[in-house]
Amino acid sequence: MSTQLLSFDQILCALRRIRRRGVFWAAIKTFSACAWSVLALLWLFSVLAHQWPEIAWNRWLYVACTVAVLTLCCALLGRWAWRFRDLLTVAQAVEAKKSGFADGLIATVQFSKDFSNQHPPELVTALAEQTAEKLRDCQVELHPPQFYGRPWLAMIALWGACLLIPNGIFSIHFKWLEEQAAISQTKHQGPLVADLSVRCVFPEHMQREPRLWENWVGDLKLPKGAKLELQARALEPVRAAQIQMGEQKIPLKIEDERKISGEWTLTEGGSWGFAVETLRGAQLEEGNLRKIVLEPDLPPTVTLLEPANDLELDDPAQIQIAYRAADDFGLSRIQAVLSLAGDDENPTNVPQLVELKREIESDDRIDLTQMDVQHGDRLAIFVEAFDNDSVDGPKRGTSVTRFVTIRSPRQKHHALTERLRQWEEDALTALANRVEGFDAENPNPVEPTGLRAKLVTETDGLSESMRQILLELKEDPLTAEEIRLALLSHLNSFDDARMAEKSLLAQGVKEAALLHQNGLVVAQLEEMIVFLEAMNARMALEDMADLTRELQDARDNLKALIEAYRQNPNDALKAKIFRDIKRLQERMEEIRKRMAEMQQKMPEEFLNLDGLKKNDLQKGLEKSRNELNSLEKMLEEDRFEEALDALDKMSQALDELSNSLQKDMQDLHDETYPELQRALSELMDQTRDLMRQQDEVSEKTEALSKKEEEAQKELLEQELKDQFDKLVELATALRLEVEQIDPDSAFGFLQVALNKTQLNVDDLWNFLSQKQPTQALESAESALEALQDLSNYWQSSDRVSKGHATRGRDIDQEIVNELLKLLRRAHQKMKQQEQGMQELSQQQQDVADRAERLQQQLGEKQKEFGEMGQISDEPLSQAQEAMGRAKKRLQQGRAGQARPAQREASRALQGMMESLKQATKPQPADRPSRSQQSRSPAHERVQIPSADDHQSPEAFRKELLDAMKAEPVDGYREQVKHYYEKIIQ
C-alpha cells in the first residue's frame, strides 16, 4: 500500500509541478502581451492626438482601453488555467505531448482518486511505478494559446528601445502625452480673476483717445501697437500671476496677494488668459480664454483721376495729373512717380505738397523736362501714397499706372511717307487704267464714255489726295522743302493736263483729241510716279541718316556723361547714364527695324545702294546694341576706359553707315536730277574759269603794283626827295596838332572822329616814312574827313581843341595837295606803267563782263530748273561790283588800290562756287536735333546777360575802328556820316 501511495504521490506531485510551471509561464507571457498592448495603445493615442489635436484624446479613454485589454488577457489566461484545475486534464495534456505513457498516466491519476480493489494492486503498483519512472525522465511544458508566443517579448524589447531614442518619433508622441497630462494638470475651468478692467492706449498715428473697459468679460478688437493696461482682482490669494497669450507670457504685478495689474503692447491677436500661482503653490491657468482680434491698418488707396487713360502728347513739357488718396488712419506722404518705360529702376519722384489728411484729392502739373524726356519716349506714371503707421512703418498704396507717349514728329512723318507710297500705288493703278483702257489690244475693252468718266474721277481723286498730303508735308519738319516744292510743281502740271482733259470732254471734241489729251495726262502721271519713287527712297534714306545722326549724338552725349561721371561719380549721373544707354539701345533697335522695313518697301533698284545692301551694318548695329549691355557692367565696375573704347568701336559702325547713306543720297540725287547736275556742272566749270581769270588779273595787278611801288620809291628817293621830306615835316606837324587835342573834351561822334583822325595820322606818318605815297594819300584823305568833322562840329566854347583841329585840317589839306602833286609827277614819270594799267583795266572789265554773262546764265537755268531756285546770284553781283571798283582804280593808275577790290571779287566768286557745289547735293530737311526737339522754347533756360556780357569784345571794337578808317563805299558816304551822327544823338 505504501509503495503505491508513494508512486501516486510522485506522479501527482509531478503533475502539479507541471501545472504550476505552465501557469507561471502563461502568466508571464500574458502580462507581457498586456504590456505590449498598453504601449501600443499609448503610441496609437499619441499619434492620433498629434495628428488631430483638436479632438480631445481623453486619458480616461486610454485607461479604459488599457483595462479592457488587461481584462481580456487575464480572462484568457484564467480560462486556460481553469482547464487544468483537474490533474486528469494535466495528465491528458502530458500524454498528448508524450506518447510513451500509453494512457498509463491518465490511469494512474484515475486510480489515485479511486483507490479500490477493483483492480489488482500489484498491477496498479507496477503501473504507478512505471509511470512515475517515465514521468521522472521526461520534460513536459504546457503551452498557452497561440498568441502568447515568444515574438511578443521581442516586440516589447523593441518598444522599450524606441522610448530610449531621443527625439524619436515615439518620444515625441510620448512627450505630448506628458504635456497633455501636464496641461490637463493645471487647467482650471473657471476664471481666476474678477473685476477686470482694461485701458487701451491707441497708437499715436490713429489719433484716438484712450479707452477703458471695466468689468470686461468679452472679446476685443484692437489695433497692433495698442498698449493695454489692465487691473484685476484674483479670486484667491496668489503669489504670482501672468498673462498668457499664445507663446507670450507677460508677468503681472501683485499687490496684497489679490490685486493684479500690468500692461503690455499688443503685437498680435489671439486668445489670452490669466495664469496664477496660488499661495499653496498650485499653478492655475484659466480654461476659458479671452480673445483679442487685431484691427487691421490697411494700406492707403490711391486713384489716379487724371490722366484717366494712356496718353499721347506732342509736347513733352508738362503733364497734368489728378488723384485721390485715402487711408483709414491718415497719410504721411504722396508722390507722383515717373519713369521711362522699361527703366523702372530709375524713377523720378515728384513729391506732392498737400495737406495730409485721411482723404486727399488734389492735382499737379509735372514738368517733364526734368527727366530729359524726348520725342518718342514712353513714360510710366503713377501716384503712390504712404500712410502714417507708426507701428510697422508706413504702408504703401499705389494707383494704376498710366503710360504717356511723347509723339515724335517722326511718327507723323512716317505716316505721311506711307500715304505717299499708297498714293503711288493708286497712281500706278490709274496709269495702268489709262494706258490699257484705250489700247486696241486690251482683251477686256470697256465702253469709252463710261471709261472716261471713271478715269476722270480717278485722277481727280489722286489730285485731291496729293494736295492734302502736300498740305501736311508743309507742316512736317522732317520733309525737305525742295521735295514738297518739286511735288507741288509736278502736281500743278498734272492738274493742268487733267483740267485740260475735262475741258475737252465738256466741249465734246473728237476721240482723237481726247486720246491725245489722255496721253498727256498719262505722261504727267508717269513723271509723278517716277519722281515719287525716287523721293520715297530719298526720304527713307534721310530718315535713316537722321536716325544715324541721333545715334551719333546719343553716343557723344553718353561719352560726355561717362567722362563727367569719371570725374565726379554720383548716383544721379549714373542713373542718367543708364537711362541714356537704354535709349541708345532702343534707337539702335529702331534703326535696325527701319532698315529691315525699308528693304522690304523700297524699290528694288534702290536696294542696290551700298548703304542698304550691307547687312553687315545691320549686324553691326545688333552687335553694338548687345555691347551696350556690357557697357553697364563696365560702368558698375568703374572700368571707364573700356567703356569709352567700347563706345568708340560702336561709333565705327555708325560712322560707316552715315557715310554710306550720304553717298547713297548723293547717288540718288544725281540719278534723279541728271540734267540739273549737268547744268550745275557747267555753271561750276564756268565759275571756275572765271575764278582763274580773276586770279590771273589779280596776280598781274599785284606784280604791276609792286613794280609801280618800287619805281615810285626809287623816284621818291631820288628825284622827289625834297618834296617828300617836306611832306614828312608836314605830317609831323599834323601829328603834333592832333596830339594836342584834348580827348576828354570829345564825346560821342567827335570821339569817334578823333579816334579816326589819330589812327589815320599815325598811318600817314608811317607811310610817308616808308615812302608809300599812295597809301599815305589814302590815310591823309581819311584823316582830312575826320578833321573836317572835328573842326565843324566841335563846340565853339572849347577853342583850344577846336583850334588844333582846324589847324590840323589845314595841314592835312596841304599834305593831300602835295601828295596829289607828287603822285601826278610820279605818275607822269612812270608812263610806261600806264599802259600796263590800262590793259589790266580792260582785262578786269572782261572778267566782269563774263561774270555778268554767268549771272544771266544762272538766271536762265533757274527758270528751267526750279530746284535751282535757292541758289542766290548775290555773290556774282558782289563780284561784279568789286571788279568794277578794281577796274576804276586800275584806270586811275592805282594798282595797289585795286588789289582789295580784286580780293573781294575772288571771295565772292568762291562763295558762288560754294553755293553751286551745295546745290549739287540733296538738301535735306532742317531737322532739329533731339535735344532741340525735346524742349519747347518756353521751357529753355533764359540766360540773362550781366553787365560784363554787355561789353563788346576788343577784337570787335578794333574791327569797327579799322572799318572807320577805311574809305566808305561810293554812294554810301552820306549814310556813313549819318550813322555816326545818330550815334551821338
Partner 1 sequence: MKFMGYIAKLAVLWGLLGFCWSSVTWAQRDPEKAAEEIRSLIDHWQTDAARRAIQPWLERDGDAPLFVVLNAQLLYYEGKYADAVSELNRLETLTSEWPEGLQTFRAEVESTRQALVGYDEFRSENGRFVVRYKGRDRILLPWILDVLQRQDDALAAHWGGRSEGSVLVEIYPRHEVLAAVTPLTEKDLETSGTIALCKYNKLMVTSPGGLVRGYGWRDTVAHEFVHYYITKLSGETVPIWLHEGIAKFDEAAWHREPDSPMDPPEEDLLARSLEAKKLITFEQMHPSMAKLPSQEAASLAYAEVHSVLKMLYQKKGYDGLKQLVQNLDQKLPMDLALKAVYGLDLQSLWTDWGKWALKQGLHTWPGLKHISLKFKRPGETEEEDDYDSVEDKKAKDFAKLGELLRARERPLAALREYEKAMAVAGEGLPTVQNGASAALLSLNRPEKVPELLRLVRVYYPTLVTTWLHLGEAYLKMGDLDRAIEAFEEAVGINPFYPLPHEALAALYTQKGREKEASLARAALEILK
Determine the interface stretch with partner 1 among 76-84, 101-109, 528-536, 621-629 (rule: CB under 8 A).
528-536
Give the type of residue at 467. Answer: R
CB closer to partner 1 out of 253 and 613: 613
Determine the interface stretch with partner 1 among 37-45, 526-534, 574-582, 977-985 (rule: CB under 8 A).
526-534
> Of 54, 114, 441, 949, which one interacts with partner 1 (CB under 8 A)?
441
Closest approach, Cβ 482 to partner 1, in A, equals 19
Closest approach, Cβ 673 to partner 1, in A, equals 9
Per DSSP, the residues of 781-793 read HHHHHHHHHHHHH
> Of 129, 533, 546, 586, which one interacts with partner 1 (CB under 8 A)?
533
CB closer to partner 1 out of 73 and 431: 431
Determine the interface stretch with partner 1 among 137-145, 521-529, 707-715, 868-876 (rule: CB under 8 A).
521-529
Maximum alpha-carbon separation in the chain: 209
Determine the interface stretch with partner 1 among 144-152, 227-235, 428-436, 804-812 (rule: CB under 8 A).
428-436
CB closer to partner 1 out of 519 and 900: 519
Write down the residue that cell numbers 565853339 correspond to. 796
Which three cell numbers mark 372? 530729359
CB closer to partner 1 out of 479 and 672: 672
- Count the neighbouring beta carbons within 10 Å of the beta carbon of residue 178: 11
CB closer to partner 1 out of 359 and 527: 527
> Of 182, 240, 530, 963, which one interacts with partner 1 (CB under 8 A)?
530
Which three cell numbers mark 630? 556690357
Closest approach, Cβ 607 to partner 1, in A, equals 8
Closest approach, Cβ 953 to partner 1, in A, equals 53
CB closer to partner 1 out of 452 and 576: 452
Residues of span 608-627 touching partner 1 by CB under 8 A: 608, 613-616
In the chain, % helix, strand, coil (3-state, to 5) comes to: 65, 15, 20
503 scored as a contact of partner 1 (CB under 8 A) = no
- The region that residue 650 occupies, defined by phi over 0 for left and psi between -120 and 50 for alpha, beta otherwise, is alpha
In the beta sheet, which residues pair with residue 232?
260
Closest approach, Cβ 431 to partner 1, in A, equals 7
Dihedral sign (CA 586, 589, 593, 595): positive
CB closer to partner 1 out of 612 and 754: 612
Determine the interface stretch with partner 1 among 129-137, 297-305, 427-435, 913-921 (rule: CB under 8 A).
427-435
Closest approach, Cβ 507 to partner 1, in A, equals 27
Rounded Cα gap, residues 892 and 794, in angstroms: 35
- The region that residue 366 occupies, defined by phi over 0 for left and psi between -120 and 50 for alpha, beta otherwise, is beta
Closest approach, Cβ 425 to partner 1, in A, equals 8
> Of 442, 468, 792, 929, which one interacts with partner 1 (CB under 8 A)?
442
Question: Which of 787, 786, 793 minimizes the C-alpha distance to 809?
Answer: 787
Rounded Cα gap, residues 478 and 720, in angstroms: 70
Rounded Cα gap, residues 571 and 562, in angstroms: 12
Contact (Cβ atoms closer than 8 angstroms) between residue 495 and residue 463: yes
- Count the neighbouring beta carbons within 10 Å of the beta carbon of residue 556: 12
CB closer to partner 1 out of 243 and 537: 537
Closest approach, Cβ 875 to partner 1, in A, equals 30
Residues of span 666-685 touching partner 1 by CB under 8 A: 674-675
Write down the residue that cell numbers 485721411 correspond to. 358
- Count the neighbouring beta carbons within 10 Å of the beta carbon of residue 426: 16
Q: How far apart are the first and last CA of the chain?
A: 182
526 scored as a contact of partner 1 (CB under 8 A) = yes
431 scored as a contact of partner 1 (CB under 8 A) = yes
Closest approach, Cβ 604 to partner 1, in A, equals 5
CB closer to partner 1 out of 307 and 437: 437
CB closer to partner 1 out of 278 and 920: 920
Closest approach, Cβ 537 to partner 1, in A, equals 12
Residues of span 63-82 touching partner 1 by CB under 8 A: none
Closest approach, Cβ 351 to partner 1, in A, equals 53
DSSP annotation of 224 reads T
873 scored as a contact of partner 1 (CB under 8 A) = no
Query: Buried b vs exposed e over 762-786: b needs ≥16 C-beta within 10 Å?
Result: ebbbebbeebbbbbbbbbbbbbbbb
Residues 875-894 as x/- pattern, contact with partner 1 by CB under 8 A:
--------------------
Question: Which of 273, 267, 255, 168 minimizes the C-alpha distance to 223?
Answer: 267
CB closer to partner 1 out of 160 and 603: 603
**Total interface residues for partner 1 by CB under 8 A:** 27
Cβ neighbors of 107 (< 8 A, separation 6 or more) are: 127, 131
Question: Which of 342, 407, 418, 434 minimizes the C-alpha distance to 380?
Answer: 342
Closest approach, Cβ 436 to partner 1, in A, equals 5
344 scored as a contact of partner 1 (CB under 8 A) = no
Residue 370 phi, psi (nearest 5): -65, -15
Rounded Cα gap, residues 962 and 165, in angstroms: 113
Write down the residue that cell numbers 488707396 correspond to. 301
Closest approach, Cβ 613 to partner 1, in A, equals 6
Dihedral sign (CA 85, 89, 91, 95): negative
3-state SS string for 315-332: CCCEEEEEEEEECCCCEE
CB closer to partner 1 out of 526 and 632: 526
435 scored as a contact of partner 1 (CB under 8 A) = yes
Which three cell numbers mark 711? 619805281
CB closer to partner 1 out of 494 and 794: 494
Rounded Cα gap, residues 886 and 837, in angstroms: 11
CB closer to partner 1 out of 121 and 445: 445
689 scored as a contact of partner 1 (CB under 8 A) = no
- Is cis: bond before 603, omega within 30 of 0? no
Determine the interface stretch with partner 1 among 324-332, 529-537, 788-796, 920-928 (rule: CB under 8 A).
529-537
Question: Which of 921, 881, 916 minimizes the C-alpha distance to 686?
Answer: 916
Which three cell numbers mark 808? 590840323
CB closer to partner 1 out of 378 and 614: 614
> Of 3, 288, 429, 770, which one interacts with partner 1 (CB under 8 A)?
429
Rounded Cα gap, residues 760 and 962, in angstroms: 10
Closest approach, Cβ 922 to partner 1, in A, equals 17
CB closer to partner 1 out of 677 and 740: 677
CA angle in degrees (0–180, nearest 5) for 915-917-920: 110
CB closer to partner 1 out of 675 and 717: 675
428 scored as a contact of partner 1 (CB under 8 A) = yes
> Of 298, 415, 432, 984, which one interacts with partner 1 (CB under 8 A)?
432
Question: Which of 279, 246, 288, 239 minimizes the C-alpha distance to 264?
Answer: 246
- Count the neighbouring beta carbons within 10 Å of the beta carbon of residue 213: 15
Rounded Cα gap, residues 367 and 853, in angstroms: 59
CB closer to partner 1 out of 471 and 530: 530
Residues of span 590-609 touching partner 1 by CB under 8 A: 603-605, 607-608
Closest approach, Cβ 433 to partner 1, in A, equals 8
Rounded Cα gap, residues 199 and 195, in angstroms: 13
Residues forming the site for partner 1 (CB under 8 A): 425, 428-429, 431-432, 435-436, 439, 441-443, 526-527, 529-530, 533, 603-605, 607-608, 613-616, 674-675
